[in-house]
Amino acid sequence: MNNEYKKAYLREKLARKEAEKILEKKSLELYTLNQELLVANQGLEEKVKKRTNDLEKAKDKAEELAKIKSEFLSMMSHEMRTPLNSILGYTYLLEEQNMNTECDEYVRKISYSGKVLLSIINNVLEHSRLEGSRFSLQEVTLNLKKELEELCSIFKVDILKKKLSYNVIIDENCDEIIRIDFKKVKQILINVIGNAIKFTNAGEVKVKASYEEEFISVSVCDTGKGISKEDLSKIFEPFVRSLKEDNFRYEGTGLGLSITKRLIEVLDGEIEVKSEENVGTCFSIRVRAPLASHPLKLNDPEGIIKINKKLNIIIVDDHQVNAMLLSKILSKQSLSALVLNHGLDCLNELKENPMYDIIFMDLRMPDIDGIETTKRIRTEIPSFKGEIILLTAESYGPEDNYLKYFDGHLGKPYSIKDVLKFLK
């Protein structure tokens, strides 16, 4: 190789080495930057972790507060239902008396307001139950068309009073035997149709129902005052009522639609609403209801019950006003009852004479409560063959363990019809 080529070769070789050094330097810089990025990323991950942790804590706290709120509402509702039982019961007894027209009018107003108050309390209680986990599905087998027709018919009186047009279209495909917790469907539709009537002063309320592919679809449309865009996004939130002044003319807790939505979710369904102010509102509801696999088994027909037999009854309740009320209701059926205020009194009485047919047993009592008393009756007095009915202002479902000790549950406030069911 001649000298000139050798020089050029060496020059190129040095250039390559120089380039390699630059590349190495860049690699090192890249490594350093990468490490910094890793550290920053780690810091970021720690921040996210901390933030997630904080959020979880806040969520737990919020859930705890919601639970406390629900328990408080549930307790308050219970406390209110006990005196309300007396108010409604005695009002009923007063209505039965032949008083002068003026007094009749006052009693009717007390009765009406009492029922409104009861409905509000029931809503609050229902809401707290649905917020928590104390609910379950009680599916029944039924003919959908028949039940929907019956349900829609209960609004006819209100429709007539408001001079509205009422258009109910129940599709023929509803004529199917299905299984669903219809009590919840009733609650949903009573709420939505009731609202439509409540907020419509002229025009029409239209209910349209159909059944397809295991889903019940119901639309409830009205020509009422409508809902503003602002309110529309919030109507399913609890305790939300339209802030418009004239809305305060209408009774309610602002819980109805929140309960409705929750009930629909429980039934694996959905609800949609479209509304235009001063034009009307349309609710569309879909809930899942499979076809029944067994033939329809009819429930006992509910009707007027006449008690023809003589029954030996005990009422055990420390709340004397309520105990007297039940006693009065029974006396209307020419039945008498022994009223006792303590569980121990009941045990003593049964030891002397176990030949009673029914015991109405209050839950919360001093000394020993209704459950303890019932357990002791079952074990200590085997000769007692009658039924023990739990009598309480608590709201119970079949999921409650309490009920296993009793033959039935009579919730306060109770109607005459409720009481008579146990006397058949």
Q: How far is the CB of 38 from other proteins (least distance, A)?
A: 13
Closest contact distance (angstroms) between CB of 14 and other proteins is 12
Cβ partners under 8 Å of residue 151, min gap 6: 186, 189, 190
- Scanning 9-17, 84-92, 125-133, 308-316 for contacts with other proteins by CB under 8 A, the matching segment is 9-17
When the beta carbons of 20 and 399 are compared against other proteins, the nearer one is 20
Q: Which residue's CB is nearer to other proteins, number 27 or number 320?
A: 27
Cβ-based nearer residue to other proteins, 2 or 379: 2
Q: What CA–CA distances, in Å, run from 44 to 32, 38, 40?
A: 18, 10, 6
- Contact yes or no for 289/214 (Cβ under 8 A): yes
- In the list 6, 183, 332, 375, the residue contacting other proteins (rule: CB under 8 A) is 6
Q: At what angle do helices 101-131 and 256-266 cross, to 10 degrees?
A: 50
Give the separation between CA 165 and CA 202, rounded to whole angstroms.
8
Tokens 């202002």 -> residue: 393
| CB closer to other proteins out of 24 and 175 | 24
- 296: which DSSP letter? -
Residue 367, sorted as left (phi over 0), alpha (psi -120 to 50) or beta, turns out to be left
> Which residues between 310 and 349 bind other proteins (CB under 8 A)?
none
Q: Is 314:340 a contact under the CB 8 Å cutoff?
A: yes
| Closest distance of CB 28 from other proteins, Å | 6
CB of 6 to other proteins, least distance (A): 7
Closest Cα partner for 392 from 422, 363, 417? Answer: 363
Question: Of 9 and 112, which has the nearer Cβ to other proteins?
Answer: 9
CB-nearer residue toward other proteins: 28 or 39: 28
As measured in angstroms, the least distance from the Cβ of 35 to other proteins is: 9
How many whole angstroms separate alpha carbon 158 and alpha carbon 197? 7
**Range 16-35, binding other proteins (CB under 8 A):** 16-17, 19-20, 23-24, 27-28, 31
Site membership for other proteins, residue 138 (CB under 8 A) = no
- The interface region with other proteins, picked from 13-21, 81-89, 157-165, 362-370 by CB under 8 A, is 13-21
Query: Alpha carbon of 276 to those of 206, 223, 226, 315: distances in Å?
Result: 16, 10, 5, 55
Nearer to other proteins, 9 or 72 (CB): 9
- Map the footprint of other proteins across residues 28-67, applying CB under 8 A: 28, 31
- Apex 253 CA angle, 250 and 258, nearest 5: 115
Question: Quick one: which of 9, 106, 239, 248 contacts other proteins (CB under 8 A)?
Answer: 9
Q: How many residues bind other proteins (CB under 8 A)?
A: 12
CA–CA distance, 82 with 79 (Å, rounded to integer)? 6
Which residues, in sequence order, are bridge partners of residue 284? 219, 272
Instruction: Select 1 or 304, whichever has its Cβ closest to other proteins.
Output: 1
Task: Pick the stretch among 15-23, 197-205, 224-232, 379-387 that binds other proteins (CB under 8 A).
Answer: 15-23
CB of 26 or CB of 332, closer to other proteins: 26
- Residue 43 C-beta: closest distance to other proteins, Å: 22
Cβ proximity to other proteins: between 6 and 50 the closer is 6
Cα distance from N-terminal residue to C-terminal residue, the chain: 125
DSSP 247: G
222, 199 contact by CB (below 8 A): yes
Q: How far is the CB of 271 from other proteins (least distance, A)?
A: 58
CB 264, min distance to other proteins, A = 58
Task: Tell me whether residue 20 or residue 251 sits nearer to other proteins (CB atom).
Answer: 20
Residue 61 C-beta: closest distance to other proteins, Å:
47
Q: With DSSP H G I counted as helix, E B as strand and the rest as coil, what are the percentages for the chain, rounded to 5? A: 55, 15, 30
CA separation for the pair 317, 393 (Å, rounded): 12
Q: In whole angstroms, what is the distance from residue 201 CA to residue 64 CA?
A: 42
Smallest distance, Å, CB 9 to other proteins?
7
* Candidate segments 1-9, 56-64, 169-177, 311-319, binder of other proteins by CB under 8 A: 1-9
One-letter identity of residue 73? L
Residue 32 phi, psi dihedral angles, 5° rounding: -60, -45
Least distance to other proteins, CB of residue 36, Å: 13
The closest of 287, 297, 300 to 185, measured between CA atoms, is 287
Binding residues for other proteins, rule: CB under 8 A, are 1, 6, 9, 16-17, 19-20, 23-24, 27-28, 31
